[in-house]
A and B are shown apart, each in its own frame.
Chain A
């Protein structure tokens, strides 16, 4: 039982990270109906920039909390700028192009960002300095660390904030209007271009936070870390119902738990025939099954021809 609880906790932490990244996919998709393949790379840039800043600050007598705050204060605007630029340079010129065009561009942007990061930061893994004292807590036979608790709490807080933004503010209303129908929103006086830019910028800010959290949790970052994370987060978004913010959260958490339990128990369930080699297959399998049988996801509305 304690092992099962531990696997649930593992899944919950992993799922919180997926959920945070999934928000970026779901927001952009909701508004542009575009899979922003490069979103995972924005997460990576957030992590790399934050680690670079921490590396510079390492010698100073600042308290760890201040160092983390400064790193975030640099990484978040850096990612916002990256997101803004990606939309401006790579997606906006293609807004009226055939559907395949921006998708191919998105793949291209993702590869470009990865390789630029590789040239800037090198191919080595960058380690996260030991700023945070890790405390291990025991809960009913399972363990959880203060970092893990912080990740889940922070992710929940950010998601709640985003929900408030979308539901309660003027910008949020404009975003929802644009997502419903871009032309009509434009007629109603919404500056659609600004709304789209804002969506990218907000999504990228979330990506920066997610990147820092991933780097802090696993203790390292790498130029290629964003791609798989991005794919899984996208799967989470699809699972929850793409375009739907609570859906992204639910999808993220569910996917994290599916992966944890799957990798943990597949060996016992199949009598050793399949093993944890297939951990990465769960995400793709979930993706394919959801798209084929319920393209609107768990919380998505059923919209004809949306899939």
Chain B
């Protein structure tokens, strides 16, 4: 986006600060604007969009940075959600506070990531993808069935009446009284999620620019060369898995607290694929692109609802049920993006250069080197 601006502005730090300030004000005021203009349900949609931004950024570490295709990401999300749900609900009668449960969920998700990663990371790309897919399904099947002989997860019925997040005596649900202003739960969660999203973005940015981040990119681009440069590929890959899983775990905890109800239905393979879609469509490895992808793909399906009445107005009948179009849209997005715009909608400048057709020689060389390295 900044590319659209004159160079003089781009280099001026004052402009950057002004832009950040404007963005900050906008993000802070957004729930109120949306609430007044489009109704509170859209604030809820925005909060979910932020949650998906977090998840997509987490998956981006694995898929975008390290180049490992993970089709079972939702398993870590599920671990986080169930840790929160089980330890803050009447199910076991345990009610731990969120500042214990979120880190605990993150830790367990991270452990799950390491446990899955350790034996499987030496597998090549597509085998890894299918093993992670299997892992995701196994986790879901266990959550769905661990209600007998000992009732651990309450099985298909899910866990209900999950405690809201509490700061001291104030619960985010049903409303927060802040300096005499009553903030509805949706708004409060929006701000909480926004804070976590900003933290996630910050961590992701720092990781990308760290030594580890560069090691991930090195592995993605050419694993053999990375080994030659002295990178311990196994540990570095494992770290990517663990970091991605941690983000997923935190996201899961927040989801459980916001929704108040979790069941295995929410953690299907399609959810993993949707998050993957966000990363791929936005631009693998590019943080602003991934954010854009996540926002687009959470808001688009909501807009699809209007396709039904539109068809009725134009054609006089509903020819194609709009809810049937949702997954079709995601699937086609994956195919079209990979064929025509593999760098995503908003690619990183480096990727765009590598994959741009302006320089066919460089592109070809780059792709061939990738091909060689990964076969």
Contacts and interface: CB of A to CB of B under 8 A. Distances in A.
A and B touch in the complex (CB under 8 A): yes
Interface of A: 33-35, 90, 93-94, 96-105, 107-112, 114-116, 118-119, 231, 234, 238, 272-273, 275, 277-278, 280-281, 283-285, 287-288, 291-292, 295, 305-307
Interface of B: 63, 67, 69, 71, 119-120, 123-127, 129-131, 133-135, 137-138, 141, 144-145, 149, 273, 276, 280, 320-321, 324-325, 327-328, 330-335, 338-339, 342, 367-368, 370-371, 374-375
A26 B330 CA distance: 27
Contacts of B127: 291, 295, 307
Contacts of A98: 67, 342, 367, 370-371, 374
Contacts of A272: 149
Per CB-CB distance, the 6 closest pairs between chain A and chain B, nearest first, are A108-B334, A111-B331, A284-B134, A115-B328, A108-B335, A112-B331
Given A108-B338, A307-B123, A291 B131 contact: yes
Nearest to A90: B335
Nearest to A95: B371
A104 B120 CA distance: 19
B131 A96 contact: no
B327 A111 contact: yes
Given A35-B130, A98-B367, A104-B280, A111 B328 contact: yes
A283 to B, nearest CB: 8
A205 B119 CA distance: 37
A105 B321 CA distance: 25
Interface of B is mostly: helix
B222 to A, nearest CB: 11
Nearest to A35: B126
Given A100-B67, A104-B280, A107-B273, A119 B137 contact: no
28 contacts: A35-B130, A94-B338, A98-B67, A98-B342, A100-B67, A100-B69, A104-B69, A104-B276, A104-B280, A107-B334, A108-B333, A111-B327, A112-B328, A112-B332, A112-B335, A115-B325, A118-B324, A119-B320, A280-B137, A281-B138, A283-B134, A287-B134, A288-B135, A291-B131, A292-B123, A292-B131, A295-B123, A307-B123
Contacts of B144: 277
Interface of A is mostly: helix
Contact of B324 (A119, A281, A285): A119
Contacts of B119: 292
Contact of A284 (B137, B368, B375): B137
B211 to A, nearest CB: 24
Nearest to A102: B338
A306 B126 CA distance: 11
B118 to A, nearest CB: 10
Nearest to A293: B119
Contacts of B320: 119
Contacts of A104: 69, 276, 280, 334, 338
Given A111-B331, A292-B120, A96 B135 contact: no
Given A280-B137, A291-B123, A103 B331 contact: no
B375 A101 contact: no
Contacts of A119: 320-321, 324, 328
Given A231-B133, A283-B134, 8 more contacts: A98-B370, A100-B67, A108-B335, A110-B331, A280-B137, A285-B138, A288-B120, A291-B127
A33 B375 contact: yes
B372 to A, nearest CB: 10
B341 to A, nearest CB: 11
Given A98-B374, A280-B141, A307-B123, A234 B332 contact: no
Contacts of A234: 130
A109 B331 contact: yes
Nearest to B280: A104
A108 B274 CA distance: 11
Contact of A93 (B138, B145, B330, B339): B339
